[in-house]
Amino acid sequence: MTGVEGLIFRKACREDVPSLVALLADDPLGQAREGTDLAPYLAAFDAIAAQPMHQIIVGELKGRIVATCQLTLLHGLSRQGMTRALVEAVRTAPELRGLGIGAALMAEAEARARAAGAGIIQLTTDKTRHRAHAFYDRLGYVASHLGYKKPLV
Amino acid sequence: MTGVEGLIFRKACREDVPSLVALLADDPLGQAREGTDLAPYLAAFDAIAAQPMHQIIVGELKGRIVATCQLTLLHGLSRQGMTRALVEAVRTAPELRGLGIGAALMAEAEARARAAGAGIIQLTTDKTRHRAHAFYDRLGYVASHLGYKKPLV
């Protein structure tokens, strides 16, 4: 299925949360944003798991979680009521980059989004993530939009 | 509440769908994307209404819908399990721009997001929407991200 032998994808389970947090934190931007207390992550996992529109996908290689993203299906009126798929929190283990794991993860997310009836898949990535930009360009994504954020707290 | 006398905000109801579709289509990009058959919009409205994480906000002035956006609350693991608010499909009636209706709409969305526990609010806007960029800049949004999209059909 993927170019990486033994790589499988599945939905995350609660026991994966510590590994997922470690992956999120092992990142130039993530390391400043993530914490060591697991409680808020477990609470968020439970909230995600309670809503069928969300799924956290994990890529597992030889029993280790090496990639993850969150896929969310969004209903909306625009584009003739088109269902969108939103991808957030994409990570591949830094020491395993260049093997095709990230591309396989995105292909998995797209297949799941398509199977759920989504007509478009979208994501935002920080302007400073130049490697990520080249990655999404290669996979056929178009940077047609600007992504704005505003803290509420 | 807003600087526009008589402007009120409320959640959309099914009877608003024709007005909402007209607002979505009354736009340089929207006019190429929206259709005249209401059935897919009504189906999408029902799907949105069935999920409490979504709300379509409408701004009503003298009985007429003059602004809308869709607000969605997203649970996620990253940023210590922070809940995000996503805004999509923001529109103000073109002939009523410059009165502060759009700013009041965004303030309403932010207040609802904050009340629901969101720590950040985010949106994407097409790179060609220069007026929208200036608008979000003024409201304190930061264009820190690129927004990538890929059609799935």
Is B89 in contact with A70 (Cβ distance < 8 A)? Answer: no
CB-based contact B110:A72 (threshold 8 Å): no
Q: CA-CA distances (angstroms) from residue B72 to B32, B52, B64?
A: 25, 9, 24
CA B63 from chain center: how many Å? 19
CA distances B150 to A117, B53, B97, Å, are 14, 24, 31
Contacts of B124 in chain A (CB under 8 A): 122, 124, 145-148
pTM (predicted TM-score): 0.93
Give me the pLDDT at residue B2, please: 56
Percent of chain A with pLDDT over 70: 99
| % pLDDT > 90, chain A | 91
pLDDT for res A54: 97
A81-104: buried (b, 16+ CB within 10 Å) or exposed (e) per residue? bbbbbbbbbbbbbeebeebebbbb
Q: B54 or A31, which is more confident?
A: B54
Per-residue model confidence as pLDDT tens digits over A9-22: 999 999 999 999 99
Chain-centre distance for alpha carbon A130: 17
Q: Do A145 and B143 touch (CB under 8 A)?
A: no
Contact (CB<8Å) B79/A125? no
pLDDT tens-place string over residues B80-105: 999 999 999 999 999 999 999 999 99
* Cα A146 to Cα B136: distance, rounded to the nearest angstrom: 11
Q: Name the β-bridge partners of A151.
A: B120
Q: Tens place of pLDDT for every residue, chain A, 153 residues?
A: 457 899 999 999 999 999 999 999 988 888 888 999 999 999 999 999 999 999 999 999 999 999 999 999 999 999 999 999 999 999 999 999 999 999 999 999 999 999 999 999 999 999 999 999 999 999 999 999 999 999 998
Beta bridge partner(s), residue B125 = A146
Q: Is the pLDDT of residue B125 over 90?
A: yes
Q: How far is B18 from chain A (nearest CA, A)?
A: 11
Instruction: State mean pLDDT over B35-61.
Output: 96
Q: Are strands B142-151 and A142-151 parallel, antiparallel or unpaired?
A: antiparallel
Kindly state whether B52 is in contact with chain A, defined as any CB-CB distance less than 8 angstroms: no
Check CB contact of B98 with chain A, cutoff 8 Å. Answer: no
Partners of residue B126 on adjacent β-strands: A145
pLDDT at B3 over 80: no
Q: What is the model's pLDDT at position A29?
A: 83
Q: How far apart are CA B8 and CA B6, in angstroms?
A: 6
Task: State yes or no: pLDDT of B40 exceeds 70.
Answer: yes
pLDDT value of residue B122:
98
Residue numbers in B near A109 (CB within 8 A): none
Q: What is the mean pLDDT of residues B46-74?
A: 97
Orientation angle between helical segments A17-25 and A39-49, nearest 10 degrees: 110
Task: From chain B, pick out residues whose CB is under 8 angstroms from the CB of A88.
Answer: 74, 76, 78
Quick check: B147 contacting A, CB < 8 Å? Answer: yes
At position A2, the amino acid (one-letter code) is T
> Judging by beta carbons within 10 Å of its beta carbon (0-12, 13-18, 19+), is residue B70 exposed, middle or buried?
buried
Longest pairwise C-alpha distance within chain B: 44
CB contact under 8 A, B79 and A127: no
Of all helices (H) and strands (E), which one includes residue B72? strand B64-74
pLDDT of residue B150 exceeding 90, the answer is yes
Per the structure block, which two tokens stand in for B152? Answer: 């799935």
Q: What is the number of other CB atoms lying within 10 angstroms of the CB of residue B119?
A: 16
The residue of chain A nearest to residue B148, with distances taken between CA atoms, is A143
